[in-house]
Chain A
Amino acid sequence: MSSVPGLQADCEELLGAFQEADTVRFERFAELWRERRFHTIFYGRIRALERNKLTKKTLELAQQYFLPPYAFQIRVGALYLLYGLYSTQLCQPKQKIRIALKDWPEIQRFQQDLIGSQHYDAAYIFRTLRLSRAFHFTAMPKLLNYRTKKKIQENEFKEEFKDPSNRVNSLITNDVLEELMNIHDHYQKMKCVISADKSHPDKALSLIKDEFVVTLKDITLEHQEWQQNRMKLFLNAKETDEISNKKEEGILLESEGSERANALARIKYRSYSAVVEASKSRRHRQVKLESSESGSNYGKSPNRSKKNSRRPQPARRRDSLEVK
């Protein structure tokens, strides 16, 4: 299927902005949507047949982000995106979102998660889509068509969107650990039963470490934390790389301006109090600090931020750091 040029880039840009906003509230997403006037994406094809095709492709692309292995925030973003695209499409009657049968249990689990973590706006949006009959329940996610393609285009989605694939975690899940615990207890009891002293197993029978299940759990947790830290380091390296590249190319003014705007936007939406006193005299200095810290701020543990807060900053910024 020939893909619509630029569609993937646009969707990824929107989802990326949503991810950076670090929230799952629909208001935030709606603001981002309106900023970009995303509904104009359908104005590309005015005639009826092509409109249908374009809408189908757009919905199909957005639907891919809705399923695992993407991160939770991206999936919520994809849900909002699907809702937006479905409601603003120009086709009459509306083109539907295709979901394969195998994906339904995943999606239902996702909905339970949403309700459980009290993201009621996302759950409500999903329910609205269901009620307005927006889904086609199909056997296969992609509608096939037949052209001999010269080369098969592999869709490469951004790595940052994906949840770090944690093979260790998927192998040693909670269920597995519970099972192991049960079996271990059972084993100990059996040993007690067959040994002479009914309360303790025989020394000769102690062939394994007693707390191996607990140690296993600790090790997997450690691994997960390590992986998350590594991802963040990688992201930070990427960001600082990008920023330094921009500066080197010599379009200083523009990039600084946009950085300033980005930085201010970020500060605004992260702190809970309004940034009134980003005074003009200090703005330049503030920005420099922000940009070099933008990577290091990003979700690292509180000891690091305390080290940074030694630099001269307005009090509000420090609050926002620690609250984060």
Chain B
Amino acid sequence: IRKKALEKREETIIVDRACRQETLAYEMESHAIGKRPENPTDLVEEGELLLTLNIFYPVIFQKHKDHKPYQTVLVLGSQKLTELRDSISCVSDLQIGGEFSSQPDQAPEHISKDLYKSAFFYFEGIFYNDKRYPECRDLSRTIIEWSESHDRGYGNLQSVKMEDYTFNDLSLKIGFPYLFCHQGNCEHIIIITDIRLIHHDDCLDRKLYPLLIKKHWLCTRKCFVCKMYTARWVTNKDSLAPEDPCFFCDVCFRMLHYDVEGNKLGEFLAYPYVDPGIFN
């Protein structure tokens, strides 16, 4: 009887251990608590404000219908908007444009982040444009012109430079969705969840801010062939692939689509692919 009871327990027991995601989440939240800087000039002062921002990913998967994935960032009140912009890591920044089926070895190294540097924030009716580099364009100009052209009831929208403003200068609503747009059409919603005074137990090293607290973990797409490596190429209209679009890792891609001399086999269009889960 005892044996049966033990067997039954073996089958039905549910062990509640922390899974990897949970330990990662906990680590992220608490890794910076209590840190002090080595250089005393980097110390955060006493009356400093600490904002908690949720930055939502622009991906739209079906499984994210109920709650969109987001990352949480802590920002000091005296930090400039440009620092926040630099800390937002979005996969669309790493895209490499262009079709490279004929010359797979020459996929250029420069990524979209370097090519299209313009970005803006939208808080409370004012567009904050990034004008640090000469090639940054004023993306918000189109929107302002559109709103002024017909009387759409949007009030006065202004456009200013991002690098002149810190968070202390802004007037913000908590819980209200604001916008961050870069690459021309990659839009992230930003929501401020909390503003509070800095506390003795917080991380007091100014260089670590904006601090990433929470990040959503996205599943990476694996290569269709080996199912082991992360996909780095995506093909369309591929006569050699079973589905459209199809993902391949570098090795499998070359083995399937090119012969020993490097000639292209079959008809296809190939693009370098950067997986959204690359930041895991």
Contacts and interface: CB of A to CB of B under 8 A. Distances in A.
A138 B201 contact: no
A52 B196 contact: no
A49 B27 CA distance: 9
Interface in A25-43: none
A146 B70 contact: yes
Contacts of B175: 144
B194 A148 contact: no
Interface string B190-226: 0101111101110000000000000000000000000
Contacts of A94: 201
A96 B201 CA distance: 10
Contact of A136 (B22, B174, B191, B199): B199
Nearest to B199: A136
Contacts of B193: 143-145
A47 interface: yes
A138 B30 CA distance: 20
B196 A93 contact: no
Interface string A130-143: 00010011111001
A138 B194 contact: yes
A209 interface: no
A148 B66 contact: yes
Contacts of A47: 18, 22
Given A139-B194, A140-B194, A96 B67 contact: no
Contacts of A144: 174-175, 191, 193-194
Contacts, number: 59
Interface string A149-174: 00000000000000000000000000
Contacts of B196: 98, 136-139
Interface string B12-50: 000000100011011001100110000000000000000
Given A49-B25, A93-B34, A133 B194 contact: no
Given A49-B25, A144-B175, A133 B199 contact: yes
B101 interface: no
Contacts of A136: 196-197, 199
Interface in B212-249: none
A145 to B, nearest CB: 7
Given A144-B175, A146-B54, A148-B67, A48 B26 contact: yes
A143 B194 contact: yes
Contacts of B23: 48-49
Contacts of A310: none
B196 to A, nearest CB: 4
B181 to A, nearest CB: 20
A140 B196 CA distance: 9
Contacts of A203: none
Interface of B: 18, 22-23, 25-26, 29-30, 33-34, 54, 66-68, 70, 174-175, 191, 193-197, 199-201
Closest 8 CB pairs of A and B: A49-B26, A138-B196, A139-B195, A137-B197, A144-B193, A48-B26, A47-B18, A93-B201
19 contacts: A48-B30, A49-B22, A49-B25, A52-B26, A93-B33, A96-B201, A133-B199, A133-B200, A136-B196, A138-B194, A138-B197, A139-B174, A143-B193, A143-B194, A146-B54, A146-B67, A146-B68, A148-B66, A148-B67
